[in-house]
Amino acid sequence: MAAFSHTYFTSFIKLSTVTVGAVFSSFLVLNPEKQIELYHSIQEYLQTSGSVASIWLEMSDTAFNDDLLEKELFGGDSDELDMDEMMGIGLDDDNSMAGAAISAVVSPSTDVKAKVEAKLEEPKLQAQVPKLEIELDDPAGTLTVLDHAPRPRNMATNSCRTYDILPTMAFLNQYQIHAATSVSNMRWVFTGGEDGYIKKWDFYATVNNKQPLTLGQRHSHVDSVAKGGVMASYWEHNDVNESGVDVLSPVYSMDVQSEAMWLVSGMKSGSIALWTVRHDEGRRITLLSKHKKPVSVLRISPDEYGVVSGAWDRAVLYWDLNTGKLARAFAGHMSQISSIEFQPWSTQVQAQDVDTEPVDKRASPVLLTTSIDGQCLLWDMRAPKALPQSFHLPKKTPPWATSACWSCDGRRIYVGRRNNTVDEYELGMGSQPSRTLKLPMNSGPVTALAMMGNNRSLVCASTDNVRMWDLASVERRSSVPFQIIPGHHGGTISTILVDETSRYMLTTSGNRGWDGSSNNVFLGYEVTPIG
């Protein structure tokens, strides 16, 4: 085995392989002696499995023998790159983008970068990969081409009339789940609740039925539920008390970075914990302390440079994650904060005046916040001193709003109420609801909402059931405007998660520390577009 010229050099390998409708990733930090050996074993496995998507090799040090590495890894001079042979695009069985990453160790030559840039401009490649970035990491030459664009929704899913949503997965759990979140492609799902633990679930292994439920475990669920949730790991949700001693705290809120690099969670004391997830999993990096009461909501900003928190102390705060300091406070709510949602950035219309500063398209300038008293406010993140827009509580509606969501186009807002209703507000159409969706009288408060990918199917969770409303047929009196989704019954729903392709959905049961009973059920659904 040939040795590198720098003994302290480390490397990072991301291996992605296409499985059935999914991308599997494993991450390893290697010392230089083990790198080539591992690479060859990976290469042999991929050749036999026939399921190569991509291999990403990133070098973190300039002092290494790049010519030797080229020969060992790629069998020749990388200056003569053939991108058609080198490139691997990960595609699902429906030919939608699952993610792509290619790399090549190259000699320090600007010609190589120019060749790759020219190749990426070809129409056939642009049609497959909507957004690519090229980085020549250092003169010694690691060229990395990564797809940073979000995975587009399946067009059939976007244009469908409705969905068939069937529960097929049960994640065994004994305690209330107050919060749940997932990475962008739902590869990993994280939950937290009353027991004071953060749990990491392998969603792909669950979907592929790697851990079937026993007959006894299936007894309490509908017949279609046969797959058991696969727990990958867990760690204690430790807070620091006044004496400086770690104590378990219930998890009232959480959000995870899009690629599971780190995670934030809300403590009972009002602190916000930042955890490592991918490496040294479960290590608390820092505590952000400003809230005086439990943190009920956390949302990472779309650019992932900050996080917005809401708590029982009525405060909404924006934290700069580059500095770990408070960047802005949103004053206006009179009760406990119940939900925080950023407007979908991809549909926002930019201002038509002359702007001289660059605009980060990933940053969503509009923020929606709600509180338990029914208050619903809209904030402009670009105007620190501007007053929020307020949406009025309808007459005869009791104070209540534990959940809210945006439509996929970012033009409408839906707010769940205590009196079995959901209010719809249209931006630019005033502060009164444009219409109200009325659930059956005995359904109970609406505690969770989620919009499906077709922008007309709204999932509403009440105490009795989970329903999916067809917003395009609400006004038709000849048909029932909703259908009941089997699975949950008789417990408060804390979270509804829908993956970005609208193929899978998750629901968790917990009262988030407020009123309501919980049956501790955590279910996964498979979603099929219809029409």
Q: What is the pLDDT of residue 46?
A: 45
Q: What is the pLDDT of residue 480?
A: 74
pLDDT band at 117 (very low <50, low <70, confident <90, very high): low
- Beta-sheet strand order (sheet of 366-371): 337-342, 366-371, 376-380, 389-391
How far, in Å, CA of 272 to CA of 372, rounded? 21
- Looking at residues 131-155, what average pLDDT do you find? 38
Question: Is 116 in the same domain as 248?
Answer: no
Q: What is the pLDDT of residue 115?
A: 55
Give the strand pairing for 162-170 and 142-147: unpaired
Q: What is the pLDDT of residue 162?
A: 93
Flag the least confident range among 139-143, 327-331, 384-388.
Answer: 139-143
Question: Is 506 in the same domain as 420?
Answer: yes
Flag the least confident range among 8-22, 104-118, 205-219.
Answer: 8-22
Q: Give domain status of residue 349, yes or no.
A: no
| Maximal C-alpha separation, the chain | 78
The pLDDT of residue 437 is above 50: yes
Residue range(s) defining the domain that contains residue 467: 163-294+387-530
Length of the chain: 531
Question: Is 126 in the same domain as 175?
Answer: no
Q: What is the pLDDT of residue 345?
A: 65
3-class secondary-structure state, position 29: strand
Which residues are paired to 337 by β-bridges?
A: 371
The pTM of this model reads 0.70
Q: What is the pLDDT of residue 422?
A: 94
Q: Give domain status of residue 155, yes or no.
A: no
Question: Is 67 in the same domain as 172?
Answer: no
CA dihedral 200, 206, 212, 217 (to 10 degrees): 50
The residue among 263, 308, 310, 264 whose CA lies nearest residue 291 is 310
How high is the mean pLDDT of the chain?
74
> Any idea which residue has 């004053």 for tokens?
331
Question: Is 178 in the same domain as 97?
Answer: no
C-beta of residue 278 within 8 angstroms of C-beta of residue 27:
yes
Work out how many domains the chain is built from and give that number: 2
110: number of Cβ within 10 Å:
8
Question: What digits encode the pLDDT tens for the residues 70-100?
Answer: 444 444 444 433 333 333 323 233 333 233 3
Q: Give domain status of residue 346, yes or no.
A: no
Question: Is 118 in the same domain as 185?
Answer: no
Q: What is the pLDDT of residue 10?
A: 27
Of the residues 147, 172, 202, which one is the last residue of a structural domain? 147
Buried b (16+ CB within 10 A) or exposed e, 71-104: ebbeeeebeebebeebbbbbbbeeebbbbbbbbb
- Looking at residues 58-78, what average pLDDT do you find? 38
Question: Is 285 in the same domain as 419?
Answer: yes
Question: What digits encode the pLDDT tens for the residues 462-497?
Answer: 989 999 999 988 665 546 789 999 998 888 999 999
* Residues 6 or more apart in contact with residue 178 via CB below 8 angstroms: 192, 193, 194, 250, 251, 252, 253, 494, 510, 511, 512, 513
Of the residues 101, 116, 147, which one is the last residue of a structural domain? 147
Question: Is 139 in the same domain as 200?
Answer: no
C-beta of residue 255 within 8 angstroms of C-beta of residue 288:
no
Regarding predicted confidence, which is higher, 517 or 63? Answer: 517
Flag the least confident range among 94-98, 285-289, 320-324, 411-415.
Answer: 94-98
Of the residues 117, 147, 177, which one is the last residue of a structural domain? 147
Residue 475 belongs to a domain with what CATH number? 2.130.10.10
Q: Give domain status of residue 112, yes or no.
A: yes
Question: What digits encode the pLDDT tens for the residues 393-412?
Answer: 888 888 889 899 999 999 99
Is 460 exposed, middle or buried, given 0-12, 13-18 or 19+ CB atoms closer than 10 A?
buried
Q: Give domain status of residue 458, yes or no.
A: yes
Question: Is 33 in the same domain as 179?
Answer: no
pLDDT band at 355 (very low <50, low <70, confident <90, very high): very low
Q: What is the pLDDT of residue 157?
A: 55
Q: Give domain status of residue 276, yes or no.
A: yes
Question: Is 88 in the same domain as 183?
Answer: no
Question: What digits encode the pLDDT tens for the residues 30-54?
Answer: 344 444 554 455 455 444 544 333 3
Q: Give domain status of residue 300, yes or no.
A: no
Q: Give domain status of residue 338, yes or no.
A: no
CA dihedral 455, 457, 458, 462 (to 10 degrees): -170
Question: Is 231 in the same domain as 275?
Answer: yes
Question: What digits encode the pLDDT tens for the residues 224-262?
Answer: 999 999 999 999 999 887 777 888 999 999 999 999 999
Question: Is 202 in the same domain as 131?
Answer: no
